Amino acid sequence: MLKKIFTPVSLIVLMAGLTGLGMVLYAWRLPPFSSSVEMTDNAYVRGYVTMLSPQVSGYIVDVPVKDYQDVKQGDILARVDDRSYVQKLSQAKATLDGQKASLANSDQKENAARANISSSEASIESAQAALKQAQLASDRQDNLTKSGVGTSSTQEEAHATLEKAKAALLQAKAALEVSNQDLQTIIVNRGSLEAAVASAEASVQLAEIDLGNTVIRAPRDGKVGEVGARLGQYVTAGTQLMAVVPTDVWVIANFKETQLAGMQVGQPVSISVDAMQRREIRGHVERFSPAAGSEFSVIKPDNATGNFVKIAQRIGVRVAIDPGQDMTSELSPGMSVVVRVDKSKAPEAVHSVSN
């Protein structure tokens, strides 16, 4: 009876079924194949790829770098024709000199106005003294006339002199008021002249910035990507010329949400690099994405539909590469890697965190 049940065909079918079940259990990390090591091949090397563009318009007159060349911070990568910007700077400086001259002239006018005020004050003192003298002479003639000694014509002449002295005093006071108003006008206009000087200084600074922007320099150490700038090419603000890729790199590993339980910042990570014959480098978990990758997509999925299939979402995990490894210098942004995190390991103290 057993011979009929365990025929060669049934044994093959049974073995195939057990093999399939084992593969399913292994794929889903179910007992007896459960493991504390979580792995994903949805991982890539990332870095600061900086696209360089001019801030001014003009023709490219020099491109001293080549594709994939090493550069240092401050190295010249390209030059834009600066002749018009040199002239604009000269024009702005000439305008500034003119505004400063107008301000200096205002200072001179203020000094003259203050001198006029002093002169008007002296004229008032002189008019007051003349008025006092005319008043005494008029009073004396009035007394002489009352006593019959003086004549009417002399008395009238003294009265006229007194009136002239009063008018001269009023005129001197009016002249003082005019001088004060002239001074206030100069002081008020001073504000507009100072503002004009400040505006001219800002124009000079802007012209200097534009002139400086005709030279495009490397923002930091790294390698140049493909150079898109060409001699004689007319570029405008925002035209992409080339990219600079610094040596700082890290790994973004996209784990399924079902793999994150027990994963912590600081846990050691093994990184297998496809481009290096799958050699491994060390790293550690640095931080986790605040949301699933689908939340950052332009068109977000809408699961409120009649047909729904639950799909495990991916959560980005940033992995910092431990220093002191020779192979890290060969890593380039965009490389594919395989990341393994042993969740059974205790998190290590992280002394430095990359940006």
Enter the CATH code of domain 36-47+247-355. 2.40.30.170
What the block records as the tokens of 243 is 């990219």
CA atoms 96, 99, 100, 101: torsion sign:
positive
What does the H/E/C string look like for the chain? Answer: CHHHHCCHHHHHHHHHHHHHHHHHHHHCCCCCCCCCEEEEEEEEEEECCEEECCCCCEEEEECCCCCCCEECCCCEEEEECCHHHHHHHHHHHHHHHHHHHHHHHHHHHHHHHHHHHHHHHHHHHHHHHHHHHHHHHHHHHHHHHHCCCCCHHHHHHHHHHHHHHHHHHHHHHHHHHHHHHHHHHHHHHHHHHHHHHHHHHHHHHHHHHHHHCCEEECCCCEEECCCCCCCCCEECCCCCCEEEECCCEEEEEEEEHHHCCCCCCCCEEEEEEHHHCCEEEEEEEEEEEEEEHHHHCCCCCCCCCCCCCCCCCEEEEEEEECCCCHHHHHCCCCCEEEEEEECCCCCCCCCCCCC
Query: Tokens 């009016």 correspond to what residue?
Result: 174
Burial of 224 (0-12, 13-18, 19+ CB in 10 A): buried
Task: Quote the pLDDT of residue 308.
Answer: 76
Note the pLDDT of residue 354: 45
- C-alpha to C-alpha distance for 89 and 296, rounded to whole angstroms: 45
In this predicted structure, what is the pLDDT of residue 150? 62
Query: Quick one: CA torsion of 331, 335, 338, 341, rounded to 10 degrees?
Result: 60
Residue 106: which of 176, 199, 182, 200 has the closest Cα?
182
User: Strands 70-71 and 222-224: what pairing?
Assistant: antiparallel
- Indicate yes or no: pTM above 0.75: no
The CATH code belonging to domain 83-212 is 1.10.287.620
Helix axes 83-146, 152-212, angle to 10 degrees: 170
Q: pLDDT below 50 — which residues of the chain?
A: 1-2, 351-355
Q: Where are the domains of the chain?
A: 1-34, 36-47+247-355, 54-80+215-240, 83-212
> Please, what is the Cα angle at 114 between 110 and 120, to 5 degrees?
140
Provide CATH code, domain 54-80+215-240: 2.40.50.100
How far is 299 from 307, CA to CA, in rounded Å? 19
Distance CA 259, CA 270 (A): 16
